[in-house]
Amino acid sequence: MDTIPTAKSRAILFDMVRCTGCRGCINACLKTHDFKGEAKDTTELSATAYTAMRTEGEFNVRQMCRHCVTPSCASVCPVGALHKTDLGPVVYDESKCIGCRYCMVACPFNVPRYEWNSPVPAVRKCDMCIDRLKEGKPTACAEACRFGATVCGTREELVAEARKRIAEDPDMYYDHIYGEKELGGTNVMFITPQPIESLGYKAKLGETPLPNLTWNVLEKLPGVVVVGGAALSAFWWITNRRDEVSAAHAAAKHDATNGGTHKASGENDHDRA
């Protein structure tokens, strides 16, 4: 599996130190997607809120899809309704989705949301404004941010920008780019004033992409089928042969009474040939 983040893919950097909590990003996201909610009330992700902000002490914690380089959601989707684009975003195709919700179970960040009260439900999550990206524009949330707290650019640029900000003001920042290496890297990265776990983000995720865990097993299955099939057939042949031999002995003894069963033995010989 491809585990190397593409440098030129589009990404988002969220700088919690610069964020003032104005919720301009949330508002822009709601407007772009024609969602009815109020920005000030949007503290949790939902099927009608692709980004949300809650306060953790004095800090503003933004939630959204991380657009993983090797996304679990896309890996587990049986029909490929979710996939990682070369441009960067992980996007969802409603017309393919069967509604198994494995993406929601598998997402290490608990991002995808479901339309629980619809008879034709779909999975909902941030698409990183892929249509805007295609036109060369930044995401709606980045465009709305007046403080440089949410910025859009190539992943390479943003990693460099994050390093620069941390280096220029080491007292204000915790020296870690959350998402640079976590789970093989994500296209949404955070820099924070404190260790991320103290801010309610999932920490200690490791650097190995999670899809490797299932692929390690799945890639062995063709071998299991071939070896298993051969072993079962071999077992059958041995036990069958053993029965035939003992049957032949028995038939020799009870030739007169077992007329009908000779045919069965004959069939077996035929099967084997």
Least separation in angstroms between residue 99's CB and other proteins is 2
Report the C-alpha dihedral over residues 176, 179, 180, 181, rounded to 10 degrees: 100
Least separation in angstroms between residue 266's CB and other proteins is 11
Two structure tokens written together for 258: 């077992």
Least separation in angstroms between residue 117's CB and other proteins is 4
Q: Which is nearer to other proteins, 24 or 211 (CB)?
A: 211
Write the secondary structure of the chain as one string of H (helix), E (strand) and C (coil): CCCCCCCCCEEEEEECCCCCCCCHHHHHHHHHCCCCCCHHHCCCCECCECCEEEEECCEEEEECCCCECCCHHHHHCCCCCEEECCCCCEEECCCCCCCCCHHHHHCCCCCCEECCCCCCCCEECCCCCHHHHHCCCCCHHHHHCCCCCEEEEEHHHHHHHHHHHHHHCCCCCCCCCECCCHHHCECEEEECCCCHHHHCCCCCCCCCCCHHHHHHHHCCHHHHHHHHHHHHHHHHHHHHHHHHHHHHHHHHHCCCCCCCHHHHHHHHHHHHC
Q: Which is nearer to other proteins, 129 or 205 (CB)?
A: 205
Q: Which is nearer to other proteins, 7 or 79 (CB)?
A: 79
Q: Which is nearer to other proteins, 30 or 76 (CB)?
A: 76
Least separation in angstroms between residue 79's CB and other proteins is 4
Q: Which is nearer to other proteins, 157 or 244 (CB)?
A: 244
Least separation in angstroms between residue 246's CB and other proteins is 6
Least separation in angstroms between residue 223's CB and other proteins is 12
Q: Which is nearer to other proteins, 6 or 70 (CB)?
A: 70
Backbone torsion region of residue 193, taken as left when φ is above 0, otherwise alpha when ψ lies between -120 and 50, otherwise beta? alpha
Least separation in angstroms between residue 166's CB and other proteins is 26
Q: Which is nearer to other proteins, 7 or 225 (CB)?
A: 225
